[in-house]
Structure 1
Amino acid sequence: MEDSKPKVTGIGGVFFKTKDPEATKKWYSENLGLAVNQWGSAFEFRNAHRPDELNYLSWSPFSKDSDYFDPSEKEFMINYRVQHIEKLVENLKANGVTICDEIETYSYGKFVHIMDADGNKIELWEPIDRVFTEMGEETTK
């Protein structure tokens, strides 16, 4: 039986600000072996419930002057993988959670941003992982 509860299912990404994103990516590639691309690095892992399915987590350094994390004043943002994003947003609204924008749909999934109780902006992502698999880019394993 498939779990239909709207909820977080894992971490989808770790985003942080740095003075020089390109130098940061280079350092992590050269020193820690991350496979980097224009956004950072995609970590590949297997879905525990469907082991034949590849899933991805994004590691992305952002410029210090990026406004992507606004209105949060923090230097980081966590992306959570979710299921049933529309119902989850409906539940969050009912609980008085600040929803920063509307759900946006892309070929690789649906996204929305919220604020947590500590003023951290959070990105919620209902992924379509097969798109990344089909792209065939090198990943960090």
Structure 2
Amino acid sequence: MKKRITGLGGFFFKTKDPSKVKDWYNKHLGLNTDQYGSTFWWKNKEGNDCSTQWSPMKDDTTYFEPSTSSFMMNFRVENLVELIQVLKEEGVR
């Protein structure tokens, strides 16, 4: 296996008022936001279009289940099927 993680796919977090958070980041940091948050577009070294998502979510969302965490990160990987097999071999559940 060459690479495991190649980048950050998204960062999602719970908040009481997602609209207020998005408005604050838009006003003070210039983050272009929409109903989902903000998408950062970029190109990988091969020149392919890629994106990373930033999303504040309502604090009662069930999107993260079964986790009880207040945030979730997802990663870009080179080969998901291969990575899952390697992780199983390493004892990761």
Normalised by the size of structure 1, how large is the TM-score? Answer: 0.58
Is 1:43 aligned to 2:17, yes or no?
no
Which amino acid is the alignment partner of residue 25 of structure 1?
K
Q: Please list every run of at least 4 consecutive aligned residues from structure 1 whose deviation after the TM superposition is greater than 4 angstroms.
A: none
Q: Is 1:56 matched with 2:76?
A: no
Distance in 2, matches of 1:68 and 1:94, equals 29
Higher RCO by CA contacts (8 Å cutoff, separation 6 or greater)? 2
The answer as to 2:60 corresponding to 1:26 is no
Q: Distance in 2 between matches of 1:95 and 1:89?
A: 10
For residues 23-61 of structure 1, give each alpha carbon's deviation from its aligned partner in whole angstroms, at most 9, with x where no partner exists.
Answer: 2112211221111122110012232x22x4332110011
Note if 1:96 corresponds to 2:72: no
Residue type at the aligned position of 1:37 = D
Q: What CA distance in whole angstroms lies between the structure 1 residues aligned with 2:25 and 2:55?
A: 11
1:81 to 73, 76, 82: 76
Mapped contact 1:34–1:41 kept (Cα < 8 A): yes
Tell me if structure 2 keeps the 8 A contact 1:40–1:61.
Answer: yes
> Structure 1, unaligned stretches of length 5 or more?
99-141
> How many residue pairs were aligned?
93
TM-score, normalization: structure 2?
0.84
Deviations 1:91-118 (A, max 9, x none): 22222323xxxxxxxxxxxxxxxxxxxx
Query: What residue number does 1:70 align with?
Result: 65
Q: Percent identity?
A: 44
Q: Does residue 1:11 correspond to 2:8, yes or no?
A: yes
Measured in 2, the distance between the counterparts of 1:34 and 1:96 equals: 40
- Aligned-pair RMSD on alpha carbons? 1.8
